[in-house]
Amino acid sequence: MTALPAFRNEPLLELRRAPERARLDDALRALDTRLPLRVPIWIGDERRDGDALRSTDPGTPDRVVATAPIATADDAHAAVAAAQAAFPAWAATPAADRAATLVRGAAWMRERRAELAALCVRECAKPWAEADADVAEAIDFLEYYARGALVLADAPPGLVQVPGERNTLRYAPRGVCAVIAPWNFPLAIPAGMTAAALATGNSVVLKPAEQAPGCGRMVVEALRAGGVPPAALALLPGEGETGAALAAHPGVATIAFTGSGAVGLELLRTAAAKPPQAGVLTRVVAEMGGKNCVLVDADADLDDAVPAIVHSAFAYAGQKCSAAARVLVHEAVADALLERLAGAVAVLPVGQAEAHGTVTGPVVEEAAQARVARYAQLASDTGTIAARRDPPTSPGWFAGPTVATDLPSESPVLSEEIFGPLLAVERVCDLDEACDRVDALPFALTGGLFARNPRTIAQVASRSPVGNLYVNRGITGAMVGRQPFGGNRLSGTGTKAGGPDYLLQFVEPRVMTENTMRHGLVVG
């Protein structure tokens, strides 16, 4: 295989051009005629359909998008056993060949850009721009990790050498990787975790989110179409119990997880509790929640800050791990910011994901709607509602975008992850106070800062614990290779998806030292 061209992010669709938008509308219409999609338990070449699990359109809940069986502990066992059997051959496949399969998988997705975006719109109510970005990011992960794995294989770090010995380090795959994926980036995140494991020579069992099995199937199809041996990549649709059974399996060497903090902590415990007979210390790569704060200094340009905050808090109904949940604003501009924020929320396009221009669609499911409503009620009972949009009167799981302020400092609205379109605004007397409040949080995923004095920017950056700090821009939309993404503290294990060192989580370093002295001569 010839060397791969340098990585370049997959261009987003230019949705400001009418023909591009029309192409997406066509793809959605075409998809609708094919629903529901069948998602099998897919182990090697064996597939078993079922309809115990149904994903529905959050905007029109009686539309079934995909049906799948619910994989049992036995299915998980079978999938891991198959992946274990496939592992040696896949691990022995030259890194360049593995990379080539990923690149072909990316090409498969690239040919289906519109169709895949349409599926994100339907299954997870992602507005078009976000759905398209999801597809592009999935492609990016495949392309990026293909290249990264080649670097690990071909150019591992050098070691100190002295005469008479040769020291070499290489990275070997760890074994079977269980990928447990979320629904909020239903293509990109499973594609990323799966591709990272495969590129480095691990075999994978993918458990997609119960809300997004259809997207999960597409990830597996893409990679298999690219040439990943069926036995090296299994699809295991199901609910929480399926994931738990998979994670607890002694044959699983690595768990790659993105999702809620509660499940992440449970997985860490599961991994630690495996019996010594399993012969493995299961590694957990976990990306969990956040309570992301945007700091606004007195010298911020509100013309920029307000739209960026609105987008960060309310795009995709606030259901991104990186979304803004709190604004800490300097008291000198707090009134102006609140007034403009309220005005901006009042005209925010709220509606069905498929309508071009929608920023806030429905939340993913009924339980999410109830959760957001609970926090909104709490905010209104204990604070002031600065802005609130009534959700559209349609059967979808809509939650009206809300801005709350004057909340007591111990309010759960300020500390718990809500994962919905609810933003809290607090006044601070200076940025030091804002940094103190950020520092008091158990989470440290993303953060934002609007300020223009370079000294202030440097100070905040040096104090900020977050994994991704964004200055004078929105705090969502990390790009593969440009903004390696991941959080610290309770937000994650500190790994950076889409970054240069992510793949190291999926390998174990092995060092060989060879004596090259023989009869007093250096022979090697």
Q: Please identify which of the residues 123, 137, 210, 287 carries the catalytic annotation.
A: 287
Number of shown-chain residues binding another protein (CB under 8 A): 36
Q: Which part of the chain contacts another protein (CB under 8 A), choosing from 6-14, 153-161, 233-241, 364-372?
A: 6-14
Contact in structure between 139 and 110 (CB atoms under 8 Å): yes
Q: Which part of the chain contacts another protein (CB under 8 A), choosing from 113-121, 156-164, 208-216, 294-302?
A: 294-302
Tell me, residue by residue from 199 to 238, as one string, x for binding to another protein by CB under 8 A and - for no binding: ----------------------------------------
Active site residue 321: yes
Q: Which part of the chain contacts another protein (CB under 8 A), choosing from 28-36, 45-53, 315-323, 452-460?
A: 452-460
Q: Which part of the chain contacts another protein (CB under 8 A), choosing from 214-222, 250-258, 317-325, 343-351?
A: 343-351
Nearest CB to another protein, comparing residues 279 and 357? 357
Is 343 a binder of another protein (CB under 8 A)?
yes
Q: Which residues contact 29 (CB under 8 A, 6 or more apart)?
A: none
Helix (H) or strand (E) holding 295: strand 292-296
Nearest CB to another protein, comparing residues 9 and 488? 9
| Torsion angle (degrees, nearest 10) of CA 78, 120, 142, 417 | -80
DSSP state of 48: E
Q: Which part of the chain contacts another protein (CB under 8 A), choosing from 16-24, 267-275, 408-416, 430-438?
A: 16-24
Q: Please identify which of the residues 177, 215, 321, 435 carries the catalytic annotation.
A: 321
Return the amino acid letter for 207: K
CB of 333 to another protein, least distance (A): 8
Tell me, residue by residue from 311 to 340, as one string, x for binding to another protein by CB under 8 A and - for no binding: ---------------------x-------x
Return the amino acid letter for 299: D
Is 454 a binder of another protein (CB under 8 A)?
yes
Is 21 a binder of another protein (CB under 8 A)?
yes
CA 31/CA 40 separation, integer angstroms: 18
Record the tokens describing residue 483, joined without a space. 């903004």
Q: Which of 357, 395, 500, 509 binds another protein (CB under 8 A)?
A: 357
Q: Which of 94, 240, 250, 349 binds another protein (CB under 8 A)?
A: 349
CA 244/CA 269 separation, integer angstroms: 11
Rounded to a whole number of angstroms, the distance between the first and last alpha carbons of the chain is 30
Active site residue 210: no
Q: Which part of the chain contacts another protein (CB under 8 A), choosing from 106-114, 319-327, 342-350, 501-509?
A: 342-350
Contact in structure between 267 and 518 (CB atoms under 8 Å): no
Please state the separation of Cα 52 from the chain's center in Å. Answer: 26
CB of 318 to another protein, least distance (A): 19
Is 432 a binder of another protein (CB under 8 A)?
no
Helix (H) or strand (E) holding 132: helix 128-154
CA 444/CA 488 separation, integer angstroms: 5
Contact in structure between 489 and 464 (CB atoms under 8 Å): no
Helix (H) or strand (E) holding 303: helix 302-314
Record the tokens describing residue 311, joined without a space. 């987008």
Record the tokens describing residue 63, joined without a space. 């539309």
Nearest CB to another protein, comparing residues 98 and 113? 113
CB of 101 to another protein, least distance (A): 24
Is 306 a binder of another protein (CB under 8 A)?
yes
CA 400/CA 406 separation, integer angstroms: 19
Is 298 a binder of another protein (CB under 8 A)?
yes
CB of 357 to another protein, least distance (A): 3
Q: Identify residues 115-154 at the interface with another protein (CB under 8 A).
A: 128-129
CB of 322 to another protein, least distance (A): 18
- Strand ordering across the sheet containing 402-405: 384-388, 402-405, 422-428, 324-330, 292-296, 446-450, 468-471
Nearest CB to another protein, comparing residues 456 and 516? 456
Q: Nearest CA to 499 among 488, 483, 477, 487?
A: 483
| Torsion angle (degrees, nearest 10) of CA 327, 329, 335, 336 | -90
Catalytic residues: 287, 321
Residues that bind another protein (CB under 8 A): 8-12, 14-16, 18, 21, 128-129, 298-303, 306-307, 332, 340, 342-344, 346-347, 349, 355-357, 452-456
